[in-house]
A and B are shown apart, each in its own frame.
Chain A
C-alpha cells in the first residue's frame, strides 16, 4: 500500500513547500473527513430530518469506502477511527462500535482497492453492497450482544438498503470533488 506521504520522506529532492502550498495540501487531505464530520453534525441535529438515524451511517460508510478506494491519503485509518468514535459519541450506538465497523470497511476497501479501481462502477457498487450489508449485520449483532437479547432486524435491513441506495449519489459527488482536486493538482 503506497503511503500518501511518500514524497515528504526525502526533503532533499523536493523543493521546500511554501506555507500556502502546505495549507492547501492539508485542506485537500482533510476534505473527506470534514465532509463526513459535517454530515454527522447535520444529521444528528434535532431538526427532524426524515430517516436521519438510518441515513447517517449510510452516508459515513459510503464516504469512507469511496475515499479509501480512490484516495486513501484523504481517509487514513486514524481519521476513520476519529469519525467512528465521533459518530458513536453523538449518536446512541455503544461506544466504539461504529469506529470498529468503519475501520473494517476501510480495511476491506484498502485491501481490494487495486482490483476495484480497475473494474466497472457496477462491480464496485456490488462490492460496496456486500460491505454495507455486512456492516449493518455486524452492527445489529453487536447491538444484540451488548443488550443481551435479540433486537428487531428490520432497521438493520433498512439501513443496509439505504446504504446501497445512497452510494451512487455520493460516489458521483465525490468523483466530482476528486476530479476538481486532480485539476488543481496538475496546473
Chain B
C-alpha cells in the first residue's frame, strides 16, 4: 500500500464514487459513439459465458426430464390397464381378421377368382424439393434406374401421397395431392359417391363435383376411384372434414408436411387392355396418343 495519511485515504475513498459515476457516463457516451466496439465487447462476454449457459440449459433439460418421468410414473398403472384393455380388444380383432381372411380365401377359391397382380414397388428417401413448377412436390431418391416411371403412384406409410410427374436417372419428382395442379378422381366410401379431389396448396385438398343428392359425410373415408384408369381404385387417401358449411375437404392420412420415405408402386394399368369390340369407337386411352379410329375404315393405300 502507498504510504499516505489516513486523511488522504479517506478523501480518496470519497472520490471513488463520483469518479466511477463519471466513468460510467463516459462509457455510456463512448458506447453510443463507438457501437461496433460495444457490440464486440458484448459478443466477447457472451462467448465467455456460453459454456456456463449451455451447462445451465443442460441442467434444466435434465430437471424437466426427471419431472416428466415422475409424472409418467404416476400414471403408469392407469396407462398399463388401458393398454391391457386395448391389447385384449386388438387380439379379438386379430382373430376376427384372420377368420375373415380365411373365409375370403375360401370364397375366392370357390369362385375361381383371378388374382390381381401384386404391384411392384420401390422405396426411396424423400429429399426436399429444390423448386420446379409445383408448389407442393417432393424429390425422391429413386429414378429410372430403380424402375420408377412417370405416372406411378407414391404411397406414404398410411395413405396416398402423390404421383410421379418427372423422372431422372436417380431421382423422381412427386406431385403431392395437396398441390394446386393435382386433380384426382376419388370415391367416398360411406356415401358411395364419386368426386374429384382438387388440391389448393393448403394441407387439406377440397372435394369437387360430388353428387348433390349424396353429400359427403363428415369423417367418412376417401379412397381413390378407378375412373379413367389413372389410378387403381381403393387406395386410402384420407377423411372428409368440413372446414366450413358446404365446403368438404379431405384430411389426408399421410403426413404430407414431413415426409421421410415414400413407396412408389407401379400398378401397370396399361396391361389391362379391353378386348376389341367390332363397331365400338374406342375412347382415348389416358396414356396413349389418340389413334385415328377411322383409319381402319379406309381401304389400304388411301390414307394421307
Contacts and interface: CB of A to CB of B under 8 A. Distances in A.
Interface of A: 1, 3, 9, 41-42, 44-47, 76-78, 80-81, 84-86, 89-90, 94-97, 99-100, 103-104, 106-107, 110, 142, 146
B49 A41 contact: yes
Number of chain B interface residues as a range: 20 to 34
A76 B23 CA distance: 16
B128 interface: no
Interface stretch (B25-33, B162-170, B182-190): B25-33
Given A76-B16, A100-B25, A107-B17, 6 more contacts: A9-B9, A45-B52, A47-B53, A89-B41, A90-B45, A96-B26
A95 B28 contact: yes
B247 interface: no
B20 A78 contact: yes
Contact of A45 (B10, B27, B38, B56): B56
Chain A interface, DSSP helix/strand/loop, else mixed: helix
A96 B23 CA distance: 9
Contact of A89 (B20, B23, B42, B52): B42
Nearest to A106: B17
Given A95-B31, A146-B32, A9 B6 contact: yes
A46 B53 contact: yes
A142 B29 CA distance: 11
A142 B24 CA distance: 13
Interface in B89-127: none
Given A45-B52, A78-B16, A96 B25 contact: yes
Contacts of B13: 1, 3
A80 B27 CA distance: 15
A103 B17 CA distance: 7
B291 interface: no
